[in-house]
Structure 1
Amino acid sequence: MKVAYIFSSNLSHRILSTMIVPQLEENRHGAEVLGMFFFVDNCYMLVKGNAVAERLKKLMDEGKIRMLMGCDQCAYEREIDKNLIDGAGIGCFPDLYGAIGQVGGVDQVITL
């Protein structure tokens, strides 16, 4: 199954850092992760130097995640738009839809 994650809740960091990322690192997640989209303070998980961001970048470099994107307004408001890990982009829903389409489309979108 091909999935995309949208991280919008205050529990997203815990779910991503202690469940999803370790499963991807250990090749036991069970789904192909085509993309991840981050809202509000969750965008900090894409900032260079952040431990989760560095793990996500490595997974992206290994092809285990195909696309990472933060909400553009959220990134601008937090003044982090120029500090994201290489390969992570920013955008809004039209950009997300286009990026997901470019990496092959998904069977399921999961919002956490």
Structure 2
Amino acid sequence: MERVDVYRGAAEVDADGNPVQGEMKHVATLMGFVAPVEASQSPGADSQGVARRYTLYFRGSEPTGILDTDCLVVRGMPLMVDGPPLEWWRYGRHIGDVVNAFVREG
């Protein structure tokens, strides 16, 4: 199990009254399993960068509350959540959440 810090942009309003994402704030610390999904590649001089993808598994009796706009920090590396988290239910009981995340390097 690894420590996963969850950061979320605060909802703010700009000078024109439009909703914008504000500063990222720490909202939770969770323990979960982190599994790499794709093999590592090295970014080349002419590449657009390499997306390293991970699947994170959280067990618990209640949903984690992670949103698809959150940033997760694992091993000091910021990962962006890729899509809405999946809730894992069995016989009407919540077992855990599965979250896909990625980081683009290069």
TM-score greater than 0.5 by the shorter chain? no
Larger radius of gyration: 2
TM-score under structure 1 normalisation? 0.22
Structure with bigger helix share is 1
